Amino acid sequence: MSEPIHSTPRQPVRMCATCEVITDQPVLIRSIEQGSGPGWSLYACADCAPTYLTTAEAFQLLMDHVGVCRICMETDQPTEACTTARTLIRVHRSCYRNDAQGPVSPKA
């Protein structure tokens, strides 16, 4: 028997700007815009992204994703179905935790 040929879609892999690990779940941490021509984007892995982002920015990334992602739109459980959403939620949670360790005390 011959094996069927799979055409696996390639994950958009990026290198983390901090630890230089190649990740298939890159988180956009910064868009650099140039006056002329296209700018470029800086990505980080899920572990490093919280050091770049505020809680609000991480939440915005999650919302931006959910707004354009078919998988997330079609499910009530994006954390189960969509790995990107899962990554962004994890990043958001880490940011939130970083905030909580600061002078702002968590809700009593």
Question: Which residues sit at the interface with Zn ion, rule CB under 5 A?
Answer: 16, 18-19, 45, 48, 69, 71-72, 82, 84-85
- Choose between 15 and 96: whose C-beta lies nearer to Zn ion: 15
- Specify the residue, 18 or 98, whose C-beta has the smaller distance to Zn ion: 18
Give the angle 102-105-108 at the CA atoms, nearest 5°: 160
HSE of 14 in the Cβ direction (CA atoms, 13 Å)? 17
> Pick from 64, 25, 65: which is nearest to 47 by CA?
25
By C-beta, is 42 or 69 nearer to Zn ion? 69
Query: Minimum CB separation from Zn ion for residue 68, in Å?
Result: 8
